[in-house]
Chains A and B, each alone.
Chain A
């Protein structure tokens, strides 16, 4: 059965770790970056090479930077695993979670310890 190309299939929901969502909220209040690890949805074919995965990750990051109006501060792509880690403003991480190519996302620091603050919150 042919698919109607005009009907856009709804993007599958990203499975986001509740700890990450908590950290995004806390980081937004404190105006500091969030560290998160994202796993990409990959074609079932194992042959997806590291080079292609790296390109895909960079493409998504550029796209999200464009739409969110803010980019990642630091990025590390794990091309052999189909995953990447970012340190980025909460707005960017939220936007990234909505991307259809993202399979799951977790906080880089599972215990919730925050990355170094860029702005003083108290005093």
Chain B
């Protein structure tokens, strides 16, 4: 059985499935009448593809599998989910500062005493291994949410249900370990919550968003989204900003002409991925929308190829993805907020945008403003505070 189907059946008693029909020449109505009874609710049939999409319980799934002359295959149907890394590999512990942290010039702000100390960064992901040496003392708060977005009580110890969350968490706020530095803001605190492993539902993510506001987070780093354009989170993203939280979301890993929500909202700082040579990664999503505000996503790109960060346990691993680029920008925002605690969401965002430079290997349609730089961002923030416009405001 597909892993997705078994996960869904275990979590909810039903599973969303794609049914590949054997003979697509048969009339849609005949196919529907033959397999429709196995679904809870009416399945959607795509006659040109010869597939049906719908929800089944265990009995329905068994029934579909018996219809061997009509049904060729039953697979899981993923939708809302993590923006999975396109590559992951265990690596030896890195020496010194990782290339990504270096590329955005974070060490230059460390030299000025800025580490993100006192700033809480919201981190909604698969969880975090707080016992990893690079994350010791970094997790200020941890929570898990159930399918209706309620806090699981008693609160479990910080743990990662996957590997993704530990990797992204350490890129935001990883502490130095024996000269190894994987975190952009090594003094920042994380408000980390499990919202996305198995049985992904909107309320879990909202529960996490609500909680990070309550934990006084100034930034929300979220490397997850729905493929395509869905406006379901727009009002909520507005409210995050109104509550003083800068939303930093991954744009997706499906390449040019694609994007994910909420990473494609104009209200979010949308992050694409670049490699160490300064090229936009092939997998990094980009898309232009017909809207006045911020039509092109991502807003910027950050290191997202061969990013070495913590793996659950004591190890490290290298991953590729816009999920890996996003925490670099969230960490940068934490450094800026430490420098200017009274700055607004718009000011921090504009300072980051003003610091971006499009490299010679980057096409604007793919990289938009380009790669941010911590030193220029701090200068831009100072200029904005002094009354200079400094950067084009996203919000009118």
Contact = CB atoms under 8 A, between A and B. Distances in A.
Interface in B11-57: 12-16, 37, 40-42, 54-55, 57
B202 A81 contact: no
Given A106-B232, A114-B40, A35 B16 contact: no
A67 interface: no
Q: Which of B37, B42, B149, B213 gathers most chain A CB within 10 Å? A: B149
Interface residues of A, number: 44
Q: Which of B12, B201, B214 gathers most chain A CB within 10 Å? A: B201
A108 B201 contact: yes
A121 B206 contact: no
Contacts of A22: 41-42
Contacts of A46: 242-243
A110 B40 contact: no
Contacts of A79: 210
Given A26-B42, A106-B202, A114 B79 contact: no
A91 B360 CA distance: 59
A37 B206 contact: yes
B289 interface: no
B15 A83 contact: no
B226 interface: yes
A29 B14 CA distance: 16
A21 B11 CA distance: 23
A74 B147 CA distance: 11
B229 to A, nearest CB: 13
B209 interface: yes
Given A22-B41, A30-B41, A108-B147, A76 B14 contact: no
A39 to B, nearest CB: 5
Contacts of B55: 111-114
A75 B79 CA distance: 24
Given A29-B41, A80-B210, A123-B59, A113 B12 contact: yes
A29 B42 CA distance: 10
B275 interface: no
Contact of A39 (B77, B236, B240, B242): B236
Give the interface size bracket for B toward A: 35 or more
Nearest to B213: A80
Contacts of A107: 202
Nearest to B230: A110
B70 interface: no
A14 interface: no
A26 B40 contact: yes
A106 B206 CA distance: 12
B239 A81 contact: yes
Interface in A53-75: 74-75
A116 interface: yes
Contacts of A25: 41
A75 B146 CA distance: 12
A80 B214 contact: yes
B76 to A, nearest CB: 10
Given A76-B207, A78-B207, A81-B209, A117 B41 contact: no
A83 B243 CA distance: 14
Interface string A84-123: 0111000000000000000110111111111111000111
A104 B235 CA distance: 9
B41 A23 contact: yes
Given A26-B42, A37-B202, A111 B16 contact: yes
Q: Which of B148, B239, B243 gathers most chain A CB within 10 Å? A: B148
B287 to A, nearest CB: 19
Contact of B8 (A17, A39, A113): A113
B80 interface: yes
Contacts of A32: 40
By Cβ-Cβ distance, the 4 closest A-B pairs, closest first, are A26-B41, A78-B210, A85-B203, A80-B213
Given A107-B202, A113-B16, 8 more contacts: A37-B149, A81-B240, A85-B202, A108-B148, A114-B14, A114-B40, A116-B13, A123-B59
